[in-house]
Amino acid sequence: MSRPIHAVTLLAALASVAFTSAGRAADAAAKPKDETVQLDKFAVIADKQANFSLPLDAVAGTGSRLGLANRDLPASVSVITQEVIQLRGLRTAVEAVEAAVGMTGGTQFGSIPGYSTRGFSANNITVMRDGIRQNTASQSSRQIDAFNLDRVEILKGPSSLMFGEGALGGAVNYVSKAPDRRFRGEAFASLGAWNTVRLGFGLGGPIVQDVLSYRFDVSHASTDGYVDRNGQDYTGFSGALGWQITPKLTLTAYSTYLRDSVESYYGTPVIYDAVVNTTAPVQTQEVRKVNTATDRLINPRIDARARRTNYNIEDNFAKTENSFHRVRADFAATPGIDVRNEAYVATQLLKWRNLENNTWNPVTQRVDLGEFALIYRDDLLVGDRFDVTFKSDLAGRKNRLLIGGDVSRNDLTRGSTPGNVATTLPSASLLAPTPVNGPAVRVVKTARIAIKTAALFVEDVLDITPQLKLVGGLRYDDIVVQRDTLANPTTTPATPFSTFEKTYRPWTGRAGAVWSATRELNLYASYSRAAEPVTQLVSLTSARADFSLQKGRQFEVGAKQTFWNGKADATLAFFDIEKKDLLTQTVVNGVRVSQQIGAIVSRGAELALALSPGDGWRIEANAAYTEAEYRDFNENLGAGVVSRAGNTPPAVPEWVANLFVAKKFGHALTLSGGPRHVARRAANNNNGIWSPGYTTLDAAASYAWERWTFTLRGRNLLDREYEDFPTAAGAMRRLADPRNAELTVRLAF
């Protein structure tokens, strides 16, 4: 376990020395002894902020509310700007996130995006819109077009200080476009394989100069999908209005509306010859249907002839409407006091009808179909966030202190499949299934949940010396969950109405130090804590009322450096994360009991490098290594308790690496592209099923003519067969698209 980490530590240290030495050598080569070359600092900084994912001089609100530059944060933050999104042809927020170091993502069942980083995935990664979290990712996250975003910010590691319970692995924040103070507009149209069409139009500028300004964007995307019966339709609208009431007071209103309708593709069944029960005393091959909790597959593979087949029911659908609204007031009360308030509202309406599992049966040589599910969600989140920043001296040292609070109420209605409905259907042919409709039933509303949160938080940055900063914060949450049971979907008739209530009061935070070793090199160290319930709050019931919150902590050290006359930025980070108090099963005196003694530990390193060497070149590379495993964690399999200690958590790759290179020829032609590598990932806690690793290659050629840009882009040019995001739902893989191309026309005015 320690050897790979030591190797990575040595490798990264050598890399750090190498890029420092290379920077100094380049500086020396570029400047004769008697001549000083001075670059336009602000032009270089602005270019890097717009066009790279680790702009060290940019301010990322996801990392801190204190307005600190990225290089002054004792944490790892990536920023994917709209310029990066356009240059790389990133169509969705998921693709934008994957441009950041160490991030993997994909679209899961019913078009639900999911992410993984630093050994954690799914609901351990908080997904937000402008710092507002509707719910956990599996409950509210939807696929969105990246055109509507100003940028995507990613904060690594425990992030409860910023966003409350959850966020043990990190946080992804979709940031809306702000009102424009100068007039500008853009439009694009894109055509791709399988009748894929994307359209976008945006406009912004002043209404009354220096008083009123606006911005609005609308996007639409539709596709038939490579897989049969996988039509998808996405529409997004976002708008912002800014009002400079006085030189000291600004009001800004934001609204976003998202709508999607998807015919779901759940996955292609993995063909296998036999299975081996890894928990049996004698492990022999058996020809039978897989038990994903215990078995390892023999000769797993995808039948290429079934690559485009969809095994979902004929009348499947997943439809949602999401909206986000907020009004922000910024008031510079005095030169040393800034006041900020945000009132926000978010809604979600989801309707879902799908058959969610298809598994190969080697005995019958057919595909078994199951897990018919109806889902209904109707959510309303209302809240207000307030903070005051004090800029002053403390014992003669420069200090910035922020004190704030957040109050919110999330009302959620849930519905599911009636309990007297069969959830399995007759098996289907692998190559020629006959689509059938699901049962003729309607969803049953099962519960109303209210989650009331009141939080207090404080952040502070103190300059101990001109070179040393202490940066930290503390947060207290009072969370009350009330669940009113309307019906029990497992029985008929419904059980009587009942009410359950649970309160949590966690303390979380972060403490760190940043040392400016030189004007261009910052070294940092930090410790952060987070907390989350044993199950997502919306699903919390009296059966788990006695369990405390799971705790997470991270130690991180790293370096952030600019070199080569400002033409290069680099970051290096080492992390050690532990998530403990996992709910696990043990046997005491022959009785099976649940205890909070399980843990996940994750250690690794991340290295990112961005270069703009001139002559039209732009290069960005990053790599992340992660070791993650369960500790003292057991699962109840019904027939017994099985230890998962030493196993790798699902969806966690050991290596993730990206390389992107762009070269501009003259004023018109740009060639760009690069490979992406993701190592294999476990598909379940048993580690008997794995999603193979893969390397893909994208490339593009763009031609600019006046205000027009024409781009021909090829994706997955190596035509790799791979799963974009593994899940533990069974022996099936939700395969990404094969090799394809698209043509995009963009107008800026």
Q: Which amino acid makes up residue 396?
A: G
Q: Which amino acid makes up residue 431?
A: L
Extract the tokens encoding 365. Answer: 């040589």
Q: What is the pLDDT of residue 28?
A: 41
Beta bridge partners, 550, equal 532
Q: H/E element holding 26? A: helix 2-30
The one-character DSSP state at 167 is -
Q: Which amino acid makes up residue 550?
A: Q
| Short-list 85, 220, 221, CA closest to 153 | 85
d(CA 741, CA 196): 10
Quickly tell me which residue has 């290179």 as its tokens. Answer: 661
Confidence of residue 107 (pLDDT cuts 50, 70, 90): confident
Q: What is the pLDDT of residues 328-341, one digit of tens each?
A: 999 999 999 999 99
The one-character DSSP state at 497 is P
HSE (CB half, 13 Å, CA atoms) of 328? 16
Angle (CA) 302-305-311 rounded to 5° is 75
d(CA 568, CA 55): 10
The one-character DSSP state at 122 is G
Extract the tokens encoding 207. Answer: 């209404």
Q: What is the pLDDT of residue 33?
A: 40
- Mean pLDDT on 628-635: 91
d(CA 501, CA 619): 53
Phi, psi (deg, nearest 5) at residue 542: -65, -20
Q: What is the pLDDT of residue 40?
A: 41
**Residue 2 confidence (pLDDT) above 70:** no
d(CA 513, CA 530): 19
Q: What is the pLDDT of residue 1?
A: 42
Extract the tokens encoding 511. Answer: 């403490």
**Residues contacting 651, CB < 8 A, separation 6+:** 104, 114, 116, 121, 122, 681, 682, 683, 725, 726, 727
The one-character DSSP state at 7 is H
Q: H/E element holding 162? A: helix 160-163
Q: H/E element holding 156? A: strand 149-156
Phi, psi (deg, nearest 5) at residue 16: -60, -45
The one-character DSSP state at 647 is P
Contact 171, 126 (CB under 8 A): yes
Q: Per the omega criterion (within 30 degrees of 0), is the bond before 55 cis?
A: no
Q: How many CB atoms lie within 10 A of CB 515?
A: 16
Q: What is the pLDDT of residue 649?
A: 94
- The answer for 488, left when phi > 0, alpha when psi is -120 to 50, beta otherwise, is beta
Confidence of residue 593 (pLDDT cuts 50, 70, 90): confident
d(CA 99, CA 103): 7
Beta bridge partners, 401, equal 390, 460
Q: What is the pLDDT of residues 406-461, one digit of tens each?
A: 999 999 999 999 988 989 999 999 999 999 999 999 999 999 999 999 999 999 99
Q: How many CB atoms lie within 10 A of CB 412?
A: 22
Higher-pLDDT residue of 166 and 514 is 514
- Mean pLDDT on 109-127: 89
**Residue 587 confidence (pLDDT) above 70:** no
Q: What is the pLDDT of residues 537-571, one digit of tens each?
A: 999 988 888 899 999 999 999 999 999 998 999 99
| Short-list 544, 540, 558, CA closest to 485 | 540
Most confident listed range (42-51, 581-590, 675-684):
675-684
The one-character DSSP state at 146 is G
Q: DSSP of 524-560, one letter per residue?
A: EEEEEEEEE-SS-GGG--GGGTT---EEEEEEEEEEE
Q: How many CB atoms lie within 10 A of CB 365?
A: 11
Contact 401, 390 (CB under 8 A): yes
Contact 480, 451 (CB under 8 A): yes
Distances, alpha carbon 174 to alpha carbons 131, 146, 275, 705, in Å: 8, 9, 43, 31
Higher-pLDDT residue of 236 and 106 is 236
d(CA 749, CA 731): 50
**Residues contacting 447, CB < 8 A, separation 6+:** 413, 414, 483, 484, 485, 486
Q: Give SS3 for 339.
A: strand
Q: What is the chain's mean pLDDT, rounded?
A: 90
Contact 460, 474 (CB under 8 A): no
The one-character DSSP state at 71 is G
| Short-list 371, 269, 402, 381, CA closest to 325 | 381
Higher-pLDDT residue of 228 and 638 is 228
Q: Which amino acid makes up residue 361?
A: N
| Short-list 228, 19, 65, CA closest to 161 | 65
Contacts of range 488-494, beta carbons closer than 8 Å, 24 or more positions apart: 488/419, 488/446, 489/416, 489/417, 489/418, 489/419, 489/444, 489/446, 490/419, 491/419, 492/418, 492/419, 492/420, 494/444
Distances, alpha carbon 529 to alpha carbons 97, 105, 506, in Å: 23, 24, 10
d(CA 262, CA 260): 7
d(CA 481, CA 411): 10
Q: Which amino acid makes up residue 446?
A: T
d(CA 199, CA 179): 21
Confidence of residue 305 (pLDDT cuts 50, 70, 90): very high
Q: Is 546 exposed, middle or buried (0-12, 13-18, 19+ CB in 10 A)?
A: exposed
HSE (CB half, 13 Å, CA atoms) of 641? 16
d(CA 255, CA 327): 9
- Mean pLDDT on 209-216: 97
Confidence of residue 39 (pLDDT cuts 50, 70, 90): very low
Q: What is the pLDDT of residue 122?
A: 86
Confidence of residue 634 (pLDDT cuts 50, 70, 90): confident
**Residue 51 confidence (pLDDT) above 80:** no
In 588-715, alpha helices (H): none
Q: Which amino acid makes up residue 617?
A: W
Q: DSSP of 435-459, one letter per residue?
A: -----S---EEEEEEEEEEEEEEEE
* 3-state SS record for 666-697: CCCEEEEEEEEEECCEECCCCCCCEECCEEEE
Share of the chain above pLDDT 90, in %: 77
Contact 532, 549 (CB under 8 A): yes
Domains and CATH numbers, the chain: 2-748 (2.40.170.20)
- Mean pLDDT on 255-273: 95
| Short-list 552, 558, 472, CA closest to 511 | 472
Q: What is the pLDDT of residues 702-738, one digit of tens each?
A: 999 999 999 999 999 999 999 988 865 568 999 999 9
d(CA 674, CA 611): 15
Q: What is the pLDDT of residues 480-527, one digit of tens each?
A: 999 999 876 554 444 556 788 999 999 999 999 999 999 999 999 999
Contact 12, 606 (CB under 8 A): no
**Residue 472 confidence (pLDDT) above 90:** yes
